[in-house]
Amino acid sequence: MSTLEIKGLRAAVAGKEILTGIDLTVRRGEVHAVMGPNGAGKSTLSAVIMGKPGYEVLGGTVTLDGEDMLALPTWQRAVRGLHLVMQYPTEVPGVHVDEVLAEALAARGRDVSALGDIIRTEAGRINFDADLVARALNVDFSGGEKKRNETLQLGVLAPRFAVLDELDSGLDIDALRDCARRVEAATHESNLGVLAITHYVRLLEELKPDAVHILVAGRIVKSGGPELADVLERDGYAAFA
């Protein structure tokens, strides 16, 4: 079974250790939620998994089917099947969404001839205005359009594992449902494994997690089933800090 495995991961930003030892294993088709207070290191974890510049790995490993991801540049991690849905999607003036997708598919050695149809189908599934793909990536997109656009990319690229960094932030209820349902569908249709960083049980009602992990001060302090999210909703993080 294909796995994304994080072992003893420690990482620093700006000379300060933020991740102090993360252990997490996600198998394809599984959804793991990571919840934790602001500043716990959730976005740092997503950045280190994907290889965002500026993060120093101090120890530990991130492997996909046994292959060391930390040794690869970001684009090669993506080609291997890792995908990040960003908390704050980057605006890229002059580069259109459909061009990005065509390049990304070509880099994966996949056929791009039917891309227009695939984009229209995917856009329809999440109520995304397909005309937006001819516009510059995320430039002047609303918060909801940005996250729908991120979800569209995930649908088209069909990665093996996705890290969702607060997919729910900046989304209204309809957009949240559309995006979360598309990701949940991918766990069945293409056996997508998901690491879903979130503050809200609302997302997890759509995106049924197999496991919930609580991240506090750079480490996972508790793991459990979906009921753990309800405990957090009721009691907050105080009991785990």
In whole angstroms, the minimum distance from the beta carbon of 61 to ligand ADP comes to 19
In whole angstroms, the minimum distance from the beta carbon of 87 to Mg ion comes to 5
In whole angstroms, the minimum distance from the beta carbon of 42 to ligand ADP comes to 3
| C-beta atoms surrounding 207 within 10 Å | 23
Give the one entry of Mg ion, ligand ADP, none that residue 144 binds, where binding means its C-beta sits below a cut-off of 5 to 8 angstroms depending on kind. Answer: none
Stretch that binds ligand ADP, among 31-39, 63-71, 116-124, 150-158 (CB under 6 A): 31-39
Near ligand ADP by CB under 6 A: residue from 2, 3, 5, 13: 13
What residue has token string 């766990």? 187
Q: Which CB atom, from 41 or from 193, has the smaller least distance to Mg ion? A: 41
Q: Is 204 left (phi over 0), alpha (psi -120 to 50) or beta?
A: alpha
Distance of alpha carbon 75 from alpha carbon 157, whole angstroms: 13
Give the one entry of ligand ADP, Mg ion, none that residue 18 binds, where binding means its C-beta sits below a cut-off of 5 to 8 angstroms depending on kind. Answer: ligand ADP
Q: Kindly state the tokens that stand for 25.
A: 């294993």
Residues sharing a CB contact under 8 Å with residue 201, sequence separation 6 or more, in sequence order: 229, 230, 232, 233
Range 28-67, binding Mg ion (CB under 5 A): 42-43
Stretch that binds ligand ADP, among 10-18, 58-66, 116-124, 181-189 (CB under 6 A): 10-18
CB 74 within 8 A of CB 50: yes
Distance of alpha carbon 107 from alpha carbon 129, whole angstroms: 26
Using CB under 5 A as the binding criterion, the count of chain residues that bind Mg ion stands at: 2
Interface residues toward ligand ADP, by CB under 6 A:
13-14, 18, 36, 38-44, 54
